[in-house]
């Protein structure tokens, strides 16, 4: 069995570079890595076809054993088309990231950060004196309600803005207008909900 050693070495190098590149944080490098991986796989498929041979259906007299196996080449064609589409799409996404964020890097997940920053202490569940949420508050502690708060550290912001029937701290209100906020997502068919 004779296998084309050059092809195999090239394939190995492509895989190595591809894997190295997709571990980068820069999106363009990730894309290059994916392209290298796809092409390395194409070479792998070619290698599975076995010996090099004549083109199939070349002439009537060619013996069945002299053909190259045509199936891997058909598979490679399909896979090239697919990776072409994916590459084009990734380029679009990278351009969009650049337009939106002016950077070519994968960004941290906002929601993950939020969960990570959530304090262990939850006023509703963990406070020794549970946060008062009933209709008859302020009767237990001195009557003026000091010492009862949803926020354990009494970090009431000085400024507050009205939101509906209730005032919320200004820092929270600012967060609500950011593009990542859950409130300003467009509908599936465009427009803004």
Partner 1 sequence: MNIASFAPLAVVLPILGAAVAFLLFRHARAQRAVSIAVLSLTLLLECFLLASVWDGGTAAVNIGGWLPPWGITMVVDQFSSLMLVVSSAVSLAVLVYATGQGMADGDRDAPVSIFHPTFLILVAGVSNAFLSGDLFNLYVGFEILLTASYVLMTLGGTGPRIRAGVTYVVVSVVSSVLFLVSIAMVYGATGTVNMADLAIKLADLDEGTQTLLHVMLLVAFGIKAAVFPLSFWLPDSYPTAPAPVTAVFAGLLTKVGVYAMVRTETLLFPGDSLNTPLMVAALLTMVVGILGALAQSDIKRLLSFTLVSHIGYMVFGLAMSSVAGLGAAVFYVAHHITIQTSLFLVTGLIERRGGSSSVDRLAGLAKLSPVLALLFFVPAMNLAGIPPFSGFLGKVGLIQAGIELGTPLAYALVIGGVLTSLLTLLAVARVWNRAFWRKPTDAEHPDPVLLAKQGESDAGGREGRNNVTLLPRTMVGSTLGLVVLGVALTVFAGPLFRVSDQAAEEMLDRSSYIQAVLGEDTEVPPLALKAGGGQ
Least distance from C-beta 164 to partner 1, angstroms? 3
Beta carbon nearer to partner 1, 75 or 127: 75
Least distance from C-beta 53 to partner 1, angstroms? 15
Beta carbon nearer to partner 1, 60 or 114: 114
C-alpha 169/C-alpha 8 separation (Å) is 63
* Binding footprint of partner 1 on the chain (CB under 8 A): 22, 27, 30, 34, 37-38, 41, 44-45, 47-48, 71-72, 75, 78-79, 82, 85-86, 89-90, 93, 96-97, 100-101, 106-107, 109-112, 115, 118, 133, 150, 163-166, 168, 172, 176, 179-180, 182-183, 185-193
Least distance from C-beta 153 to partner 1, angstroms? 15
Residue 161: its H or E element? strand 160-163
DSSP 149: -
Alpha-carbon distances of 35 from 11, 14, 18, 105, rounded to whole Å: 13, 9, 7, 18
Least distance from C-beta 101 to partner 1, angstroms? 7
C-alpha 53/C-alpha 63 separation (Å) is 11
Beta carbon nearer to partner 1, 63 or 165: 165
Terminal-to-terminal C-alpha distance of the chain: 64
User: 82 by DSSP, 3-state: which?
Assistant: helix
Beta carbon nearer to partner 1, 137 or 142: 137
Tell me if 30 sits within 8 A of 22, measured CB to CB.
yes
């Amino acid at each position: 069995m004779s296998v084309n050693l050059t092809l195999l070495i090239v394939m190995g190098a492509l895989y190595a570079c591809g894997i190295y590149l997709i571990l980068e944080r820069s999106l363009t490098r990730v894309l290059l890595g994916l392209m290298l991986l796809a092409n390395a796989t194409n070479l792998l498929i070619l290698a599975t076809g076995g010996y090099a041979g004549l083109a199939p259906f070349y002439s009537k007299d060619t013996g069945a054993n002299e053909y190259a196996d045509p199936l891997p080449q058909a598979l490679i064609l399909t896979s090239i088309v697919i990776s072409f589409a994916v590459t084009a799409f990734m380029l679009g996404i990278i351009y969009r990231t650049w337009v939106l964020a002016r950077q070519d890097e994968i960004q941290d997940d906002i929601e993950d950060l939020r969960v990570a920053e959530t304090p262990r202490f939850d006023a509703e569940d963990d406070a020794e004196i549970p946060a008062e949420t009933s209709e008859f508050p302020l009767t237990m502690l001195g009557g003026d309600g000091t010492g009862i708060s949803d926020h354990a550290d009494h970090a009431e912001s000085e400024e507050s803005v009205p939101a509906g029937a209730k005032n919320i701290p200004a820092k929270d209100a600012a967060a609500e207008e950011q593009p990542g906020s859950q409130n300003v997502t467009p509908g599936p068919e465009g427009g803004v909900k």
